[in-house]
Structure 1
Amino acid sequence: MKHLCLLILMFSSFHVDATARFTELNYGPNHLDLNSDGMADVVFYSNFDNNTSHPDPALSVYIKNHDATYSIVPIPSGDRFTLFGVNVSVSNVLLRSFGLIHTSKGVYLVISIKTGNSPHLNQFFKFRLYRIESNTAYPGVPLYSWVKQGEKTSKNQYMSADEAIRECLQTCFE
């Protein structure tokens, strides 16, 4: 009976992916395989400096094609090509942040968004998970896009998105 309960836990949707880990991005180009095709794609991590004391983090993604060219990937739910974090002016409190998580099933983009109406209080965060998918079925559509895989809410309250996003390793994959 004890072994049956253990098996059920292992294969249930509440099983945490023990391989889930964040990819620490360096400023500038980062080479990693985002679409599991065996070729290193390029993720540019930078700051959007808008003359404030705390610039916003920024991310642009390029998928390497088999002919050695690169395709830029639009941000999730948008037609722009650079994803920005959002902080409160003159503050290091991030209302929205992002990160890349490697799991046994591939690489996910997670976007952490503060859900409350006050940027200066500890509040819950939404975690939106995306994976890269290719699309060659329709002309005029980008070759690659981020496709939403799910959404979770943090179990704890946080002040800043860069703190909250670390919880996603457990909350998002259980």
Structure 2
Amino acid sequence: MKYLKLPSLWALVAAMAFAVPAMAQEFRVGFVSLDRILREAGAAKAAQAKLEQEFSRREKELNDMGAALKSQSERYEREAPTLSESQRQQRQKQLIDQDREFQRKRREIQEDMQARKNEELQQVLERANRVVRQVAEQEKYDLILQEAVYINPKHDITEKVIKALNNAR
């Protein structure tokens, strides 16, 4: 009896061994690099250009303010030996106040810029995720990864996503 069950067990193992590769070939995995999409996709580049244009005036004002502060500081350093104590203290106080205002404006611009960058980035990511889903459905992928320690380049569909994202305008 035991000998009869053993051949049928081997037949079952052999059938499973042939079935596993067949099942593995049906499962398709892809990889998408979000960093690359954010660097190379037209939508991401357009968002970056939009932000640069939006904040260029404020950045120029800040740069001008910084240059004026530096110029006044250098002028103070040159004139300090000839100023009276009260004049030195008054000019130092003015420079400190101007520096505080400069730092406050710089922080404000950086915070505003970061908030806008996050808004624009979120829109690009939402569009990219829709395109990833479309590519995955069209090409019948079962799983798309966005982060991995290692990925074989043959599974990288980032270029397809970038092209589809650029064409979707």
The interval holding the TM-score normalised by the smaller chain is under 0.3
Task: Give the helix-richer structure, 1 or 2.
Answer: 2
Tell which structure's C-alpha radius of gyration is larger.
Answer: 2
Bigger RCO of structures 1 and 2 (CA < 8 A, at least 6 apart):
2
So what's the TM-score if we normalise by structure 2?
Answer: 0.23
So what's the TM-score if we normalise by structure 1?
Answer: 0.23
